Structure 1
Amino acid sequence: MKLKSKRLLPALMASMFAVGCAHTPPTIPPVASVDLQRFMGDWYVIANIPSYPEREAFNAVESYELKEDGRIMTTFRYRKGSFDAPLKIMHPVGRVIPGTRNAVWDMQVFWPIKAEYVIVGLNDDYSQTIIGRSKRDYAWVMARTPTISEADYQAALAKLKALGYSLENLRKVPQQWPEATP
Structure 2
Amino acid sequence: MLYRLIFSVVWVALVTGCTSLPEDIEPVSELDLKEYQGTWYEIARLDHSFERGLTHVTAEYSINDDGSFTVINRGYSREEGSWQEAEGHAVPVEGGPAGHLKVSFFGPFYASYVVFRLDDSYQTAYVTGYNREYLWLLSRTPEVSEETLAEFRAVAREKGFDLQELVIVDQGTKPVRRADDPS
Give TM-score, length-normalised by structure 1: 0.83
Given that 2:21 and 2:130 are in contact with CA atoms closer than 8 Å, whether structure 1 keeps it comes out as no
Cα deviation per residue 1:123-160 (whole Å; 9 max; x = unaligned)?
Answer: 11101111013410111101001000000011011111
Q: Which residue of 1 aligns with 2:122?
A: 126
With over 3 angstroms needed to count, the CA separation of the structure-2 counterparts of 1:25 and 1:47, relative to structure 1, is closer
Cα deviation per residue 1:44-76 (whole Å; 9 max; x = unaligned)?
Answer: 000001331211111000010111112211000
CA distance in 1, matches of 2:162, 2:21: 22
CA distance in 2, matches of 1:110, 1:69: 20
Secondary structure, in 3 states, of the residue corresponding to 1:73?
strand
Q: Which residue of 1 aligns with 2:152?
A: 156
Q: Which amino acid aligns with 2:7?
A: L
Q: Quick one: which of 102, 118, 124 aligns to 1:106?
A: 102
RMSD: 2.4
With over 3 angstroms needed to count, the CA separation of the structure-2 counterparts of 1:116 and 1:135, relative to structure 1, is same
Matched, 1:56 2:53: yes
Q: Which amino acid aligns with 1:16?
A: W
Fraction of identical pairs, as percent: 24
Q: Quick one: which of 36, 39, 59 aligns to 1:39?
A: 36
Cα deviation per residue 1:18-69 (whole Å; 9 max; x = unaligned)?
Answer: 6325754553111221111000000000000133121111100001011111
Given that 1:21 and 1:113 are in contact with CA atoms closer than 8 Å, whether structure 2 keeps it comes out as no
With over 3 angstroms needed to count, the CA separation of the structure-2 counterparts of 1:48 and 1:21, relative to structure 1, is same
Q: Unaligned regions of 5+ residues in structure 2, if any?
A: 175-183
User: How many matched pairs?
Assistant: 172
